[in-house]
């Protein structure tokens, strides 16, 4: 799979599911950067430099000088949403960016009018928009979405498309082998309109992969994290990535936990809480939707600080006394809007078991942190497709809270931020025709 990526031809279509806070911040930032009016800060594809070659031959280069990335000027946007507001109105409603940072690209944003969403109210009870496909079975949703993708290609002349989910978190759909275990079963369930086990997001993913577009899941939904979708991605030779943008608290967690683990300190508990007041917070206020997020957020620590590997350090804390206590909470608090505040209380212990505490208070801006991840995930998925990489893109774990992995084979996901970075760098090297390596820079 270590193929060099082919050069891009023509334009890249970026079709986003959900035209809310994250998406409009992402789109506005790209359009502003194109005009030289803002800088895409936080984006690895635009700023990071990595080493290629060794010894005398080593050089530190931007990604675009190693691999043939699509240029920001070659991106065309489209979106689906439950609400009819165009990207300009939606950006204003989101109140993430100031008007002065939106107005210069108003003309372009106004043209991004959301297509009708494949939506089911039971998957996000707090949403009541009516820009939705009406009375369609799951299979009919798939067919409509495929047509949307084809029409977008025809109308804009884009050569390639990537589909990114930045829509609300759906209620938790437990993986059920009977319908999610194989492509044949999944298709049969879609045709039988199995509303309980086929989330609308699965219709988007299925449609994207069938139309030859990589699919990225930016929310914690299990959508492409099922064997049936892995099979479809293999069949269509398309990359898939997910789940859940790693932005604020989990980014800190996956960067901070290695400090504890590397120095062989003990952990008895980690309590993470957040207050958040945007629409994402509103949807997550519904327990069934929060459950999806909780599963994703909890997974980060467990593979970094592993009780089985270090029972003296990580084997204490909860009722069963098998592991440290780990709890994550998100509280909907409208006054803060998109400016999420996260608190982490970390109870650690050291020499002879003496306890200590670490407190982290992160006053972040959710969509400001998520926007560069959207850009990187889109550009790198498009690149991966051109390099002939398909199926789960493990090198994109760096950007994701709950990286996809083959759990049917007991594969352990890599959650350690710095190991994920090595995977990212090596994938870039390989797609640029260099050898992967683990040399220290
Ligand atoms: N901002 C972050 O830091 C961050 C981090 C990780 C994950 N996420 C996830 O990204 C997603 C987007 O976050 P946001 O703050 O932009 O939320 P948002 O509520 O502002 O926007 C989501 C949009 O998706 C639309 N939507 C819901 N279901 C849809 C469907 N089936 N089809 C089409 N559109 C649909 C909603 O109408 C809404 O406009 C959420 O799932 C969130 O959990 C965000």
pLDDT value for 320 = 58
- Strand intervals (E) in 294-379: 325-332, 341-349, 355-363
Find the mean pLDDT for residues 146-174: 96
Find the mean pLDDT for residues 197-207: 98
For 57-75, how does the pLDDT look when each residue is reduced to its tens digit (9 = 90+)? Answer: 899 999 999 999 999 999 9
Q: Whose CA is nearest to atom 9 of ligand 1?
A: 219
pLDDT value for 317 = 54
* Cα(18) to centroid(ligand 1), Å: 6
Q: How far is CA 248 from the centre of its chain?
A: 13
* Cα(330) to centroid(ligand 1), Å: 15
For 308-354, how does the pLDDT look when each residue is reduced to its tens digit (9 = 90+)? Answer: 888 899 986 555 557 898 898 889 999 988 888 999 999 999 999 99
pLDDT value for 208 = 98
The percent of residues above 70 in pLDDT, for the chain, comes to 97
Q: Which two tokens stand for residue 85?
A: 């507001």
| Contact residues for 276 (Cβ-Cβ < 8 A; gap 6+) | 284, 330, 331, 332, 333, 336, 338, 340, 341, 366
Residue 369: name the closest of 6, 13, 25, 4 by CA. 25
* Cα(224) to centroid(ligand 1), Å: 17
* Cα(165) to centroid(ligand 1), Å: 8
Q: At what angle do helices 417-431 and 249-262 cross, to 10 degrees?
A: 110
* Cα(332) to centroid(ligand 1), Å: 15
> Across-strand partners of 330?
274
For 267-306, how does the pLDDT look when each residue is reduced to its tens digit (9 = 90+)? Answer: 999 999 999 888 778 887 787 787 776 776 677 788 889 8
- The mean pLDDT value of the chain amounts to 93
Scored b (16 or more CB within 10 A) or e, 130-149 reads ebbbeebbbbbbbebbbebb
Q: How far is CA 332 from the centre of its chain?
A: 21
* Cα(32) to centroid(ligand 1), Å: 22
Residue 398: name the closest of 271, 253, 245, 274 by CA. 245
Query: What is the atom index within ligand 1 of the atom nearest the CA of 90?
Result: 39
The reported pTM is 0.93
Q: What is the DSSP string of 294-308?
A: HHHHHHHHHTTS-TT
Q: What phi and psi, each to the nearest 5 degrees, are found at residue 80?
A: -115, 145
Q: What angle do CA 88, 91, 92 make, to 5 degrees?
A: 90
Query: What is the atom index within ligand 1 of the atom nearest the CA of 200?
Result: 31
Residue 111: name the closest of 173, 31, 198, 229 by CA. 31
Strands 391-392 and 239-241: parallel
Q: What phi and psi, each to the nearest 5 degrees, are found at residue 20?
A: -100, -145
Q: Which of 86-100, 114-128, 258-272, 308-322 has the lowest mean pLDDT?
A: 308-322
Q: Whose CA is nearest to atom 39 of ligand 1?
A: 20
Q: How far is CA 246 from the centre of its chain?
A: 7
CA 81 to CA 135: how far, in whole Å? 17
Q: What residues does ligand 1 touch, defined as CB less than 6 Å away?
A: 17-23, 80-83, 94, 117-119, 124, 127, 129, 166-169, 200, 218-219, 244-245, 247-248, 278-280, 366-367, 369-370
CA 130 to CA 424: how far, in whole Å? 40
């Amino acid at each position: 799979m270590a193929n060099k990526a082919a050069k891009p031809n023509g334009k890249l279509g970026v079709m986003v599911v959900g035209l809310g806070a994250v998406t409009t911040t992402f789109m506005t930032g790209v359009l502003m950067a194109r005009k030289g009016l803002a800088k895409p800060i936080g984006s690895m594809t635009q700023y990071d430099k990595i080493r290629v070659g060794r010894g005398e031959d080593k050089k530190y280069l931007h990604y675009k000088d190693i691999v043939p990335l699509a240029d920001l000027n070659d991106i065309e946007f489209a979106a689906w949403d439950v609400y009819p507001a165009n990207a300009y109105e939606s950006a204003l409603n989101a109140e993430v960016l100031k008007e002065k940072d939106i107005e210069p690209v108003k003309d372009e944003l106004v043209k991004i009018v959301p297509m009708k969403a494949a939506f089911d109210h039971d998957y996000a009870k707090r949403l009541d928009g009516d820009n939705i496909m009406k009375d369609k079975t799951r299979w009919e949703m798939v067919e409509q979405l495929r047509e949307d993708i084809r029409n977008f290609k025809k109308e804009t002349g884009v050569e390639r498309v990537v589909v990114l989910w930045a829509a609300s978190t759906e209620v938790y759909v437990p993986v059920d082998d009977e319908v999610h275990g194989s492509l044949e079963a999944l298709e049969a369930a879609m045709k039988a309109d199995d509303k309980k086990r086929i989330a609308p997001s699965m219709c988007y993913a299925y449609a994207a992969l069938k139309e030859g577009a990589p699919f990225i899941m930016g929310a914690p939904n299990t959508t492409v994290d099922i064997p049936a979708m892995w099979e479809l991605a293999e069949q269509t030779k398309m990359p898939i990535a997910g789940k859940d943008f790693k932005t604020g608290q989990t980014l800190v967690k996956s960067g901070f936990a290695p400090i504890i683990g590397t120095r062989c300190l003990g952990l008895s508990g980690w309590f993470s809480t957040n207050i958040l007041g945007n629409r994402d917070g509103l949807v997550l206020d519904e327990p069934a939707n929060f459950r999806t997020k909780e599963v994703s957020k909890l997974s980060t620590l467990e593979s970094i600080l592993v009780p089985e590997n270090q029972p003296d350090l990580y084997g204490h804390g909860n009722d069963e006394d098998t592991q440290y206590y780990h709890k994550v909470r998100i509280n909907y608090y409208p006054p803060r809007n998109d400016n999420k505040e996260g608190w982490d209380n970390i109870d650690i212990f050291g020499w002879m078991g003496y306890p200590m505490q670490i407190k982290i208070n992160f006053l972040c801006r959710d969509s400001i942190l998520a926007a560069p991840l959207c850009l990187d995930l889109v550009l790198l998925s498009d690149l991966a497709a051109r390099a002939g990489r398909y199926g789960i893109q493990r090198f994109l774990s760096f950007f994701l809270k709950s990286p996809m992995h083959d759990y049917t084979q007991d594969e352990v996901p890599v959650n350690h931020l710095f190991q994920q970075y090595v995977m990212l760098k090596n994938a870039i090297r390989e797609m640029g025709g260099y050898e992967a390596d683990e040399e220290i820079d």
